[in-house]
Amino acid sequence: MSQSTESHAERGSVSPAVTVSDVTKHYQLGGRVTALDGVSLSLPEGSYTAVMGPSGSGKSTLLNLIGGLDTPDSGTVSVGGTRLDGTDDATRADVRGTEIGFVFQTFDLLPRLTAVQNVALPLTFADWGRAARRDRAAALLGDVGLGDRLDHRPPELSGGQRQRVAIARALAADPSVVLADEPTGNVDTETGGEVLSLLDGLHESGNTVLLVTHARRVAERAQQIVHVRDGAIEGVERLEGDAPTLSVADDPTGGEN
Amino acid sequence: MDLRETFRIAVRSIRAHNLRSALTVLGVVVGIGSVIVFATFGASVQAAVVSQIGQTSANSIFLTPASIESGGQDGPPGAGIADATRPVFTERDVTELGEINGVETVVPQGTVRLSGVSHAGDTVAQRQAIGTTPAAFGDDDIVDGRAFESGAQEVVVNEAARTAFEQNLSVGDTVTLTLADGDRRNATVVGVADGTRGGLLSQFGPSGPQLYLPSEPFYQTSVEGTTDGVRVTAYPQVTVVAEPSQTGTVADAVRAYTPESDAAALLPAEQTVGVQTTGEIVGQIQEILGQLTRFVTGIAVLSLVVGAIGIANITLVSVTERTREIGIMKAVGAQNRDVMQLFLTESALLGTGGAVLGIPVGLVVAWGATRFAEVGFTLALDWMAFAVVVGVAVGVGAGLYPAWRAARVDPIEALRQE
């Protein structure tokens, strides 16, 4: 990764990039379903975390809350220092555009935009100038090895290439956290490996990465795995000795597990 | 999000569905086009009719019997044609009107009943001729020869009458008139005219063969006079030709005179003497044609509404198809108003495209229609402006609801959708 993606890392890694505190979320689905029940989690800046859990465990809900797509019924969520609970649509849209980078399972590029336009999309909504957008997007595509595919549209790219475009897009606004939802779910094993290497690279260049997956093999790339079951955090598994502090107690800034 | 980028993305989405965008635009083209066609054609006919009347009798004031019920002088021209043919204006009225200040001449006009006209052994059936005075012919009316003289056995014909016979008439020829009562009279053709200053119903379009005769000796219609029971000559129509720029004051003076005229005395109680200046008649005709144009154009507006529904429909389809895209855009930071703006721009572009294409299409068709109807081509600029504004408004209006739906798309639901 180049310098262009390193700014968050340079700010140091003391403050948490994401803080989730005692969050509860219910859905009305036939009956009242508790998706998350008193979950607390803190992701230090520069950390690489995987969230694992079976279907319906609440891991998608957690991702939606951190990603500012949804608001909790109770508890607080803050990303990059901005509170997302109890905010209006406009504020959360702002945060999604500037503090969060999404990488989806199905790539989710806009089919009619070229690679460089897709990468520049968050900057378009953040009112960047046209030339600045293009320069930034071209640099990011260069970083993920697609410098020669700037003006290709998604249908002209392979699955792996599309996911690389999606990763470049996630980094466009230099977000506080990159949220990857099953990023290897839709590509073959070899391409999946490439994608995971890219995510590793993001981490190495200082980005905070949160990866949601149900595949152990994928989760093992992270520094720690948060196991979610029935709307609660079941446990945290540390994979690297030197991993930054990750806390899941009621007190999000509290002691280690 | 800046408007230029919105515009770019909207254009890209429209072009991604070329055929269906084109069909939607076609709907608006038909709508705007029909509005333009009817409005332009209406304006052209209006201009043609008005200029035809205005040219021949700009300073004329027309007096005809009119029923009070039908509005008298405010009624539309031609209302109560039966009433308008009552011979009531006497020679005294003509003289009195002629003495009003600013009057150039007074032209009485009546109908001479005929059964036929013969020339060089060829007889043409002709029900009537116009009995009037030499003053009926202005300088522009005579195209060949001269006006007839009062009391002379002379006739002036129009172009249609000149060519009605096997051998065309020319100035100096003699025609034989067979009057309705069977009498035959010879008259010398002294001139060819393309109209007269008198009469307000005889001015529309190219008319059939027409003969103009001096009222003395040909016009025989008379009524019992108002005073001594003596029969006096009476005309159903009188035209007062005012000096230019005096038309208004003369019209007022004519109106002041009519209550004491013989005509007023001779008319039954429910009728009065109608007085109309050319300007008033032109105004009324304009109003009638204007109403007609608005009515027909209003029907054309219906097709514009259909076009609008087309835009609303296709934008709704587009929102539904692109729900996932909306979710993606929202996930990467699009505000609700960005999404709304995007879809509104798309529908506004479809509407504007329809307007921009509809105007030339409408103008070409309208031009063809004016050629066919043999009237001059007059642009209805106000309607063209209206069509563009409506086109854009239709696009925006039709896009409002779909765009609002798009803005309200829940990104979580949208991203879950396949």
CA distance B18 to chain A (A): 13
Residues in chain B within 8 Å Cβ distance of A125: 1, 329, 332-335, 338
Amino acid at A158: S
> Are the C-beta atoms of A92 and A68 separated by less than 8 Å?
yes
Residue A117 reports pLDDT greater than 70: yes
Question: Would the CB atoms of A124 and B412 count as touching at under 8 Å?
Answer: no
B185 touches A at CB < 8 Å: no
Residue B293 reports pLDDT greater than 60: yes
Domain boundaries of chain A, sorted by first residue: 3-238
Domain assignment present for B63: no
Residue A23 reports pLDDT greater than 60: yes
Q: Are residues B158 and B188 in the same domain?
A: yes
Residue A1 reports pLDDT greater than 70: no
Percent of the residues in chain A that have a pLDDT greater than 90, as a whole number: 48
**Confidence tier at A7 by pLDDT (50, 70, 90):** very low
Convert the pLDDT of each residue in B52-70 to its tens digit: 766 666 678 888 888 765 4
Q: Are residues B288 and B262 in the same domain?
A: no
Number of domains in chain B: 2
> Are the C-beta atoms of B331 and A67 separated by less than 8 Å?
yes
Question: Residue B319 has which token pair?
Answer: 């929102």
Q: What is the mean pLDDT of chain A?
A: 85
Last residue of a domain, one of B266, B301, B334: B266
Last residue of a domain, one of B266, B299, B322: B266
Give the residue numbers spanning the domain of B219: 87-266
DSSP state string for B75-134: SPTTSSHHHHT---EEHHHHHHHHTSTTEEEEEEEEEEEEEEEEETTEEEE--EEEEE-G
Residue B206 reports pLDDT greater than 80: no
Decide if domain A3-238 falls under CATH 3.60.15.10. Answer: no
What is the pLDDT at residue A246? 53
Convert the pLDDT of each residue in B3-57 to its tens digit: 888 998 899 889 988 999 999 999 999 998 998 898 888 888 888 887 776 666 6
Q: How large is the average pLDDT for residues A90-115?
A: 90
Q: How large is the average pLDDT for residues B278-307?
A: 86
Instruction: Give dist(CA B6, CA A104) in Å, integer.
Output: 24
Convert the pLDDT of each residue in B239-263 to its tens digit: 888 887 888 888 888 888 888 888 8
ipTM: 0.86
H helix and E strand count, chain B = 13, 14
Convert the pLDDT of each residue in B157-173 to its tens digit: 888 888 888 888 888 88
CA distance A237 to chain B (A): 29
**Confidence tier at A6 by pLDDT (50, 70, 90):** very low
**Confidence tier at B220 by pLDDT (50, 70, 90):** confident
Pairing mode, if any, of strands A209-213 and A177-181? parallel
Closest CA to B33 of B306, B374, B311, B343: B306
Q: Are residues B237 and B352 in the same domain?
A: no
CA distance B296 to chain A (A): 43
Question: Would the CB atoms of A126 and B329 count as touching at under 8 Å?
Answer: no
What is the pLDDT at residue A187? 76
Instruction: Give dist(CA B162, CA B148) in Å, integer.
Output: 15
Q: Are residues B261 and B407 in the same domain?
A: no
Closest CA to B88 of B261, B275, B276: B261
The interaxial angle of helices B18-56 and B336-373, nearest 10 deg, is: 40
A126 touches B at CB < 8 Å: yes
Q: Are residues B42 and B106 in the same domain?
A: no
Domain assignment present for B29: yes
